[in-house]
Structure 1
Amino acid sequence: MENITNGKFTGRARRRSALAALALGMALLAACNQGGASTVETTADAAMHRANPARTGLYAADGPTEYQSIKWQFAAADWVFGAPAVLGDTVFVAGYDGHAYALDRETGAEKWRFDSGAEIIASPAAAGDLLFVGNMGGVILALDGATGEERWRVESGAGFSGSPAVVGDTVYFGNEAGLLLALDTADGAERWRFQQPDTNMPFSPAVADGIVYAAVSNGILYALDAATGEEQWRYDPNTQTNLHSPTADPVVADGVVYFMTTDTSLKGILHAIDVATQTVRWQYSSQAENFSAPAVSGDKLIWGSLDHKLYAVSAESGELLWTYPTEDIIFSAAAIAGETVYVGGQDMNLHAVNINDGRRRWQFRAESSVSSPAVVDGVVFVGTEGGIVYALQ
């Protein structure tokens, strides 16, 4: 994915151009078994993009099934594209203005802000007393979660459009120069690196069962040992007549890694790959590209598409279960809490949909396009293109 920074754009036009470049760059780089116990849910000691290192998008507590009110709202200086990270009594968000913000979870009051020096589009990750951020200038930062004080930084040489994953005392970052770094959370010391020259890693790595999964712009999904970085296996969907590019984060659940790509026909293809055998169980093809990775709960995979739809398919068979129409494209990641799916759209709506039948439960109209949500203890936290962060209940 191309670096979306361009100084000639300002305000809403700049943000919309950034989103278009984000999508174009990625493309050109080329029923009731709900809440199953074996599907990874939110971790209690860390908060990150898509709820957990496996990127399932599954949150442990139920979310609101009916809309009541805006609990609070906060105005950041610019576009908040990534999902908030909610840990303890703090909501952490990052903005296209280059700042990381810490907000009081109950009131939305600002606790602190930190200027990273370059635009941020990736979600931050919080673990223990630290907040981890990667910006489009290639800087990795560890900030004190309570004060915002810088603890350490690493210069990677290329920007981050994917979000960090934290597992134990290691944080994993993939950048736009095809570099995956495993760093010690305490001091930023490098544990290992995995490099694919002349590529980039535009999406968030997923970590599950001691394996890091990285989607690389050459169309290949790499499985690496989380402790050493050594390649364990790879999945390559490319053929002589059909080339693939990744379009979303890899997701791991119940012994399967889900890998979203687009091919030369610009169709969206979801590959379900058996981790044990490294073979494809099934593939699902849609007519449009999908820049939203599936959220997983039980036998259901849910994601949004550029064809103005939310899709639900069976995790077991890949069979289409239902679709839900929206007024514009869905570029953000869906979140699942209980039996409700929450997804933000370019139509300026946060949609709350029944996971079992795809029917609308409620809808919240924001002032601009809605980003990826996080759901914690019955509250939906989400940012917008206009820089507003909402806590909805």
Structure 2
Amino acid sequence: MNRALARAACVALLPLLGACSTLDSLNPFASKPGGPKMAELKAITASADTRVVWRDSVGKAGDYVLVPAVVGSSVYAVGRDGALTRFDNGRQVWRVKIGQTVSGGVGASERMVVVGTPKGEILAFNAADGAALWTSRATSEVLSPPVIAEDAVVVRSGDNRLAAFELADGKRRWVYQRPSTPLSVRVTAAPLVADRFVFAGFPGGKLVAVSLGNGAPMWEGAVAVPKGVTELDRVADITSVPVIDGREICAVAFQGRVACFDLGNGSLVWARELSSAAGLAIDSRYVYVSDDKGAVHALDRNSGASIWKQDRLFLRRLTAPLARRGLIVVADVQGVVHFLNREDGAFAARQTTDGSPVLAPLQANTDGVVVQTSNGSIYAIEMQ
């Protein structure tokens, strides 16, 4: 199992057991005496120019995965202690103290910023000045960034329910729930909204599309099918955000497969065995996946056939890839950001941050990528 989950997630056991535990003890690739070791980084010859344009800090994430939101030239970020900040081109525009712990965020648009709390509260703020707008409540703790759609805020709660709230006042519009599994991985991935659909992955390897208007299920696709004798063997959960390009949507499951579906009706286009808890990216030619052993794969967009594999980041607990400006970007457990050549996976550049793990998905901005570390540092890195 991927040790990134040990910081970002835990196994949700049956309620009777009353708790969740980290995955380190279940991870066959965890560092043990005489066992596999995390790959050491070797010097590279850079073929791309990257530089840190600006950096700042918003406070540590603690046990949560807090994701920055990029809207044009603005970056919104929050720390566990509730310091919510807007940066414009690296300049702090405002900072508000929410006054409580934040466990899910940030979701943002040109007008609104939204975060969630361990108590299940949804807190909305004015994007212009940080003024509080409304408060609502989900069915349980909020561990993923809320998503601001056309006229609603969509939230995934820790009990694997989706809910939509009215954009104007936070009134709850609908709740969607699938049957639960006996054992599942705690998910911090946001839902994805496109074409008036809400897409999300669930325990048991199901990718589901529901209506943004009323929460009615539209289609369901099997990214993975649970296998094995024990409940632990049968964990095959989608723990990352699906990706869309054109009329295709793709997702990947932990202990499962990567699969692509027709966006409109959910029919399977292709699938292949590959386990990932971190996630994937897509562009016009390839699908890119960070697997659970620290390898980055490029797969043919049309068939899923392997194009290249970069395996020199073994056990470095990578983030999902980000395809940007002809490069594939991933970050690791030591806060190192790696830039790979899109065509062959060769190392093209490298940037260091504050040395703490990068667990939050990388975010694209106008000139490159925005990174938030577990210690709360925000980096805007330009790619040329």
Q: TM-score, normalised by structure 1?
A: 0.76
Q: CA deviation at 1:99?
A: 3.0
Q: 1:241-294 deviations in whole A, cap 9, x for unaligned?
A: 6663222222233322222213xxxx34112223445332222223xx412221
Which residue is equivalent to 1:364?
351
* RMSD between aligned residues: 2.9
Indicate yes or no: 2:373 matched with 1:390.
no
Which residue is equivalent to 2:260?
272
Indicate yes or no: 2:100 matched with 1:113.
no
Whether the aligned pair in 2 keeps the contact of 1:162 and 1:202 (CA below 8 Å) is: yes
Residue type at the aligned position of 1:22: A
Which residue is equivalent to 1:100?
84
Residue number among 348, 366, 378 corresponding to 1:377 in the alignment: 366
Residue type at the aligned position of 1:158: S
Secondary structure at 1:245 match in 2: coil
The answer for unaligned runs of 5 or more in structure 1 is 1-16, 30-63
Which residue is equivalent to 1:256?
248
Q: CA deviation at 1:26?
A: 7.5
Q: Aligned partners of 1:26, 1:329: CA distance in 2, in Å?
A: 24
Q: % of aligned pairs identical?
A: 22
Which residue is equivalent to 1:57?
none
Residue number among 294, 305, 328 corresponding to 1:341 in the alignment: 328
Secondary structure at 1:247 match in 2: coil
Q: Rate the CA distance shift 1:194–1:223 in 2: closer, same or farther, 3 A.
A: same
Residue type at the aligned position of 1:91: V
Which residue is equivalent to 1:208?
194
Q: Rate the CA distance shift 1:69–1:234 in 2: closer, same or farther, 3 A.
A: closer
Which residue is equivalent to 1:235?
221
Q: Aligned partners of 2:96, 2:308: CA distance in 1, in Å?
A: 42
Which residue is equivalent to 2:209?
223
Indicate yes or no: 2:305 matched with 1:319.
yes
Secondary structure at 2:8 match in 1: helix
Whether the aligned pair in 1 keeps the contact of 2:262 and 2:269 (CA below 8 Å) is: yes
Q: Aligned partners of 1:145, 1:268: CA distance in 2, in Å?
A: 39
Whether the aligned pair in 1 keeps the contact of 2:165 and 2:173 (CA below 8 Å) is: yes
Q: Aligned partners of 1:103, 1:279: CA distance in 2, in Å?
A: 41
Which residue is equivalent to 1:355?
342
Which residue is equivalent to 1:247?
239
Q: CA deviation at 1:359?
A: 1.6
Query: What count of residue pairs does the alignment treat as equivalent?
Result: 335
Whether the aligned pair in 2 keeps the contact of 1:328 and 1:346 (CA below 8 Å) is: no
Which residue is equivalent to 2:113?
131
Q: 1:50-103 deviations in whole A, cap 9, x for unaligned?
A: xxxxxxxxxxxxxx9834543222122213844422224431012233332222
Which gives a bigger RCO, structure 1 or 2 (Cα 8 Å, sep 6+)?
A: 1
Q: Aligned partners of 1:140, 1:228: CA distance in 2, in Å?
A: 19
Whether the aligned pair in 2 keeps the contact of 1:343 and 1:373 (CA below 8 Å) is: yes
Q: TM-score, normalised by structure 2?
A: 0.78
Residue type at the aligned position of 2:251: F
Residue number among 45, 53, 75 corresponding to 1:91 in the alignment: 75
Q: Rate the CA distance shift 1:380–1:65 in 2: closer, same or farther, 3 A.
A: farther
Q: Aligned partners of 2:169, 2:99: CA distance in 1, in Å?
A: 18
Q: Rate the CA distance shift 1:136–1:354 in 2: closer, same or farther, 3 A.
A: farther
Q: Aligned partners of 1:186, 1:198: CA distance in 2, in Å?
A: 32
Q: Aligned partners of 2:374, 2:118: CA distance in 1, in Å?
A: 17
Q: 1:99-118 deviations in whole A, cap 9, x for unaligned?
A: 3222232x343621332512
Secondary structure at 1:20 match in 2: helix
Q: Aligned partners of 1:27, 1:346: CA distance in 2, in Å?
A: 26
Match runs of 1:279-298 below 5 Å: 279-286=267-274, 289-298=275-284
